[in-house]
Structure 1
Amino acid sequence: MEECQYDRDLQSIQEARVLARKGKKAQEQLATYDESQIEKIVLNMVKTAKEKAEDLARMAALETGFGNIADKIFKNHHASTTLYESIKEMKTVGIIKNDQQNKIMEIAEPMGLLMGIIPSTNPTSTVIYKAIISIKSRNGIVISPHPSALKCTMEATRLMNEAAVAAGAPDNIITCISKPSMKATDELMRSDEIALIIATGGSAMVKSAYSVGKPALGVGPGNVPAYIERTADIKKAVKNILASKTFDFGTICASEQAIIVEKCIEPQVVAEFQRQGGYFMTPEETERVAKILFVKGHAMNARFVGRAARIIATAANITIPEDTKVLIGRQNGVGEGHPLSYEKLTTVLGFYSVEDWQEACELSIALLNNGGIGHSFSMHTENPEIVMKFAAKPVFRILVNTGSTQGGVGVSTAISPAFTLGCGTWGGSATSDNVTPEHLINIKRVAYGIREIETDSSPIDKSAETSQDDMQQLLTGLMDLLKQNGGQ
C-alpha cells in the first residue's frame, strides 16, 4: 500500500499546531523560574549571539541578497549585547514594585507563548531581539519566518533555543516554523496557545496580525522625512543622513526616505551631498529608477530592496561616479505621480526644496500621511525653538541631529534598543514605543485598603424623604385612578 503523502500546506499547518503545543508546555515551566534563573539564560543567549553574529550575518546576506554583511553583524550585536545593557536591570520577575506608603504591590506575570513574525530585511537580528525580550519576561516564542529568509531565520532560532536550554530553559521554548506558508502563519496566529503576536514586517502582515482577535504588537511602515533647517551644520547633517541611509543599504524602516531643504541653503546642501557621495539624478534618470523600484503602484520590487546604489543604477542603465553611495531624485509633489515620495527600503532618496520651516512642516505631514504616519521624523537644526515646532508632528520618534536609522533603533540616541518600533494608534499600532520586555508582562496588583468606607453614605437627602402620610395619600390616589379605568 502506497504511503500517504500530505500536501505541504497541510504539513505546515500541522507543524504550527505542534510547535504551539510544545511551546506552551515549555512556557508554563519557564513561568516558574526565578530572576536568577532567567538572568542566567538570557546571558547565555547574549553570549551565543555575540559569538555567532558574523556567521548569521553572512547567512542572511547570502540567502536574501539584501544589505551588507558588516552592517548585519552590527545589527546582530545591537540585538543582543546593546539590548542586554539596556534591559539587564529591568524588573520582569516577581515583585517589581512595592509602594509601602500606599500599600500597593505590583507583581510581574508572563503573558504566555508569543508568536514572532520576522521580516526578510532583518531576519537574524529580529529573531535574536525577540527571543531575548521574550525570555527576559518569562515568555516562550514561536517564530514565523519570511520564506525568502528561512534558512538564516531558522539557524538564528536554533542557536537561541540551544543557548537557552544549555542555561536551564525547557526545550522548545524558542522554535521556528520550518515549512512557512500563509496558512501556517494564520494557524499559528489563531492558535489558542498563542497569547500575543509581535509582528514586524509588511503592512499586510501587520494588519493580519491585528485582525485575528487577540493581543498584538505591530509596526507600521516608515516614510521618514529628513528636514535640513537653515541653521543646521550642513556637513554633519549630510554625513549623518548618508551613514543612516546606507546602513545595511536602507533596509531598516526608520531610515530616511526624503530630504527637505530650505532654498536659502539648497546650493550648499546639494554640493555637500555630491562631495560625500550623493548622486542627483536627472528627471529622466529619476523616472527610470522609479520604474524598476516599484511594482503594482508603489509596492517595492524585492529585487532592489537593500541594494547598493551601483546595482540600482546599472539596472536602470545610469552611469554614476565610482564613489556614489545614494541616488537622489528631485520631487515636486507627494503621492501618485511622485514615486520617490513613498517608502524605499534601499539606497534611493527623494529631494524637496521649500521656502521656510512652515512649508517644511506642511510637506513633512504630507509625506508622513503617505505611508509613515506615527513612525519617525528626522531633523537637522541648531534652533531649539524649531525643534519644538516639529515636536507636534504626527510621529512618535523625533530624531534631532542624528541619522534616523541609528536614532530610531536606539544606537545613537537614548531610545530603547529595539527592532520592533511601534507607531501608536496613528499608525495602527497598539504601542508608540520601541518594544521591550516591559511590554511583554502582565502586571498583577495587590492593594490593601487605605481609606475607610462610610457605612452611612446614601446620596439621598433625608430631608426630602416622603413622609408616611404623603405615601398614604399617594396610594389612595393611585387606587382611585385604577377604579376609574376599570382596574382592580
Structure 2
Amino acid sequence: MIVDNDLLSIQQARILAENGFEAQKKLATFTQEKLDEIVEHIAEAVEEHAEELARMSHEETDGGKWQDKLVKNRFVCNQVRNELRGMRCVGIINEDPQKKITDIGVPVGLIASLCPVTSPVSTTVYNTLIAIKSGNGVIFSPHPGAAKSIGRVLDIMISAGNSCGLPEGSLSYLETVTKSGTCELMNHRNVSLVMITGVPGMIKAAQKTGKPVIYGGTGNGPAFIERTADIGQAVKDIIASKTFDNGIAPSAEQSIVVDSCVAGDVRCALTSCGAYFMSEGEAESLAGLFFAPDGQRRKGMAGQSAQVLARRAGFNVPENTTVLVAEREYVSDTDPYYREFLSPVLALYVEDDWMHACEKCIELLLHERSAHTLVIHSADEDVILQFAMKKPVGRLLVNTPAAFGGMGATTNLFPSMTLGSSSAGFGITSDNVSPMNLIYVRKVGHGVRCMDAVAAESAGTGKQPKTKVNDSNMVQIIQQILQKAIEAIDDPADR
C-alpha cells in the first residue's frame, strides 16, 4: 500500500496538538512541587540510559564523539536538574510586601519544539525538563537525521513521566516527520510558542506562524586573544572547546582573532596543542568539502575529526592533530572561512590592536546575521568592557572555553542546551533559555494611593488637595493626566 507521508505527518500533528492542548490544561493545574517531582523522575530515568543514548545518537548521526555526547547527557541530568531545584516558575513566584506587588507565574501553554542533529538527545531532554518544570506541554518534531535517537529518549521520558502523573499527551512527538507535518504543528491554533534549537532551515517557517519563537542556534562566534591574555591558557581553552564533540557545540569558537603583537606566541601555542596550519591549497580543498560552489552546505561533514577531514580533502596531517587552522586576512563572501564549519576547523585573523580586532569580530558576527557567542581572552578590564558594550551578540564569555562557558558549565550562566540568538533578529530572547522563558508573569498590584494624591501630583503641587475629589470630576482628572502624558511624548524637547 502506498502511504503519503506528508498527509500522515500532517494528521499526526493535528491529533497531537489537540490531545496536547487538553493535557496541558490539566498540567497547568499542578503545583510546583508536583511538577518538580515529575522532572526529577524523568531525569533519573534518562540518566540510567545516558550511555546507551550517547552511543545510539553517535551511530545514527555519524558526527561528534559518543563520549562527549555522554558528558552532555549527564550534564542535563545532573547539573541542569540541580539548577532547576528550588526554582519557582508557576503560582506565586515573587512577593514584595512593601510595594504590595505579587508575581504569578503562568505557563505559556503548548510548545512545539524542534531539536538538532548535532546534540539530539541532550537538547531533547533539556527542552522537556524546562517545559514540564514550567507547566507547559511540549510536542517534538525530531530532526530526520536523528529521529531514532530522539524517539528513543522521548519514549523513555514519556513512560517515566506518565508513571509519575504526567497527563498523557502533554509530552509527545511526531513519529512520521516531514516538513509539511512540522509546519502544520507549528501553525496549529493550539500551539502557543515555537522553540527551535539548531535547525536554521525552519526559522522562516516558524516566523510566518505569527507565534513567539525562541531560536537557539549556532553562530559564527570568534575568540579574541588580546595582548594581556594568558596566551597558553587561552589556546588550551580554545582547543578544548573546539575538539569537544568535534566542534559541534553551539557556542564553540569558529575563528580566532589575535592581537598582532602576540600573534607569534599564539601560533607557537597552537602548534604545541596539535593545531595544523593548512596551506592555501589545502584550505581551499577543505572548504570545497563543506560548501558547494553555490554556497550550499554539504551534508555529512559536521562533527568529523581533523584527521578524517584532512584525509577527505586529500592531504596528510600528523596523528596528534587536534584542529585545522586556515590563516585569513579578510572577511569576504568569496571566502567560506567566515562561515561556521561545526567541526575542528578554525580561521585565524591577525589585527593591529584591540580596536581593529573589535571591528573584525563584528564583521564575523554579522556577516551571516548569526550573532550568538563571543569569547575574549584578556586581563584588561577596559577592553573587556568595550567588547561587552559594542558587540551585537547574545553572550560574551571571558577567559573560558566557549563550548563549556556558553552552556553554563564553566560560567555561572544558566546551564542550558538552548542558547538564545535573538540579537540576530530570529527569536524573542538571547538568554540561555530556562523555564522562566516559558512562562508569562501575571502582575498583582494593590492600591496604595488614592486619586486625591494622584491629582495633586499631576497638578505639580506635591500636596494633598483640601477638597476631596468626587466621582463627578474623576473622569476629567484622568483625562488631564493622560493628556499631559501624551504631550510629554510628543514634545521634541523630551526626545
Shared fold per TM-score greater than 0.5 = yes
Which residues of structure 2 form unaligned runs of 5+?
453-468, 481-495
Instruction: Report if aligned partners of 1:373, 1:394 keep a CA contact under 8 Å in 2.
Output: no
Report the equivalent of 2:421. Answer: 423
Pairwise CA distance, 1:202: 3.2
Query: Are residues 1:170 and 2:178 paired?
Result: no
Report the equivalent of 2:252. Answer: 255
Distance 2:60 2:479 in 1: 78
Deviates more, 1:343-352 or 1:201-210: 201-210
Instruction: Report if aligned partners of 2:216, 2:419 keep a CA contact under 8 Å in 1.
Output: yes
Distance 1:317 1:346 in 2: 17
Report the equivalent of 1:219. Answer: 216
Q: SS of the counterpart of 1:303?
A: coil
Report the equivalent of 2:101. Answer: 104
Report the equivalent of 1:453. Answer: 451
Report the equivalent of 2:395. Answer: 397
* Alignment deviations for residues 444-468 of structure 1 (CA, whole Å, 9 cap, x no partner): 2222211112434646999xxxxxx
What TM-score comes out, normalization by structure 1 length?
0.91
Instruction: Report if aligned partners of 2:17, 2:188 keep a CA contact under 8 Å in 1.
Output: yes
Alignment partner for residue 322 of structure 2, among 325, 335, 351? 325
How many residues are treated as equivalent by the alignment? 459
Instruction: Report if aligned partners of 1:374, 1:427 keep a CA contact under 8 Å in 2.
Output: no
Distance 1:206 1:461 in 2: 44
Alignment partner for residue 199 of structure 1, among 196, 209, 215? 196
- Give 2:420's aligned amino acid: G
* Alignment deviations for residues 378-433 of structure 1 (CA, whole Å, 9 cap, x no partner): 11111111111211211121111111111111111111111211122444221121
Pairwise CA distance, 1:288: 0.6
Instruction: Report if aligned partners of 2:212, 2:427 keep a CA contact under 8 Å in 1.
Output: no
Report the equivalent of 1:58. Answer: 55
Deviates more, 1:111-120 or 1:198-207: 198-207
Report the equivalent of 1:472. Answer: none
Distance 1:356 1:364 in 2: 12
- Give 2:332's aligned amino acid: G
Alignment partner for residue 110 of structure 2, among 110, 113, 125? 113
Alignment of 1:7-46 (within 5 A): 7-46=4-43
* Alignment deviations for residues 324-373 of structure 1 (CA, whole Å, 9 cap, x no partner): 01100011111212211111111111011111111101111111111254
Alignment partner for residue 382 of structure 1, among 371, 379, 383? 379
Instruction: Report if aligned partners of 1:224, 1:372 keep a CA contact under 8 Å in 2.
Output: no
Distance 1:77 1:58 in 2: 13
Instruction: Report if aligned partners of 1:220, 1:427 keep a CA contact under 8 Å in 2.
Output: no
Report the equivalent of 1:294. Answer: 291
Report the equivalent of 1:370. Answer: 367
- Give 1:448's aligned amino acid: H
Pairwise CA distance, 1:25: 1.8
Pairwise CA distance, 1:191: 0.7
- Give 1:406's aligned amino acid: F
Q: Alpha carbons of 1:206 and 1:296: their partners in 2 closer, same or farther (altered >3 Å)?
A: farther
Alignment of 1:279-358 (within 5 A): 279-295=276-292, 297-358=294-355
- Give 2:234's aligned amino acid: A
Distance 2:115 2:370 in 1: 22
Report the equivalent of 2:233. Answer: 236
Instruction: Report if aligned partners of 2:372, 2:423 keep a CA contact under 8 Å in 1.
Output: no
Instruction: Report if aligned partners of 1:114, 1:194 keep a CA contact under 8 Å in 2.
Output: yes
Pairwise CA distance, 1:297: 4.0
Instruction: Report if aligned partners of 2:46, 2:77 keep a CA contact under 8 Å in 1.
Output: yes
The structure with the largest alpha-carbon Rg is 1
Instruction: Report if aligned partners of 2:373, 2:393 keep a CA contact under 8 Å in 1.
Output: yes
- Give 1:228's aligned amino acid: I
- Give 1:407's aligned amino acid: G
Q: Alpha carbons of 1:425 and 1:225: their partners in 2 closer, same or farther (altered >3 Å)?
A: closer
Report the equivalent of 2:464. Answer: none
Report the equivalent of 1:143. Answer: 140
What TM-score comes out, normalization by structure 2 length?
0.89
Distance 2:412 2:204 in 1: 29
Report the equivalent of 1:471. Answer: none
Report the equivalent of 1:467. Answer: none
Instruction: Report if aligned partners of 1:137, 1:438 keep a CA contact under 8 Å in 2.
Output: yes
Distance 1:209 1:80 in 2: 29
* Alignment deviations for residues 181-209 of structure 1 (CA, whole Å, 9 cap, x no partner): 00000000011111111111233312321
Distance 1:417 1:48 in 2: 20
Distance 2:338 2:442 in 1: 46
Distance 1:297 1:5 in 2: 35
Q: Percent identity?
A: 38
- Give 2:249's aligned amino acid: I
Deviates more, 1:309-318 or 1:76-85: 76-85
Pairwise CA distance, 1:86: 1.5
Instruction: Report if aligned partners of 1:402, 1:412 keep a CA contact under 8 Å in 2.
Output: yes
Instruction: Report if aligned partners of 2:47, 2:73 keep a CA contact under 8 Å in 1.
Output: yes
Instruction: Report if aligned partners of 2:241, 2:403 keep a CA contact under 8 Å in 1.
Output: yes
Deviates more, 1:229-238 or 1:165-174: 165-174
Instruction: Report if aligned partners of 2:369, 2:424 keep a CA contact under 8 Å in 1.
Output: no
Alignment partner for residue 440 of structure 1, among 435, 438, 441? 438
* Alignment deviations for residues 232-267 of structure 1 (CA, whole Å, 9 cap, x no partner): 111111110011011111112211011111221111
Deviates more, 1:366-375 or 1:117-126: 366-375
Instruction: Report if aligned partners of 1:220, 1:428 keep a CA contact under 8 Å in 2.
Output: no
Report the equivalent of 1:469. Answer: none
Query: Are residues 1:125 and 2:114 paired?
Result: no
Which residues of structure 1 form unaligned runs of 5+?
463-488
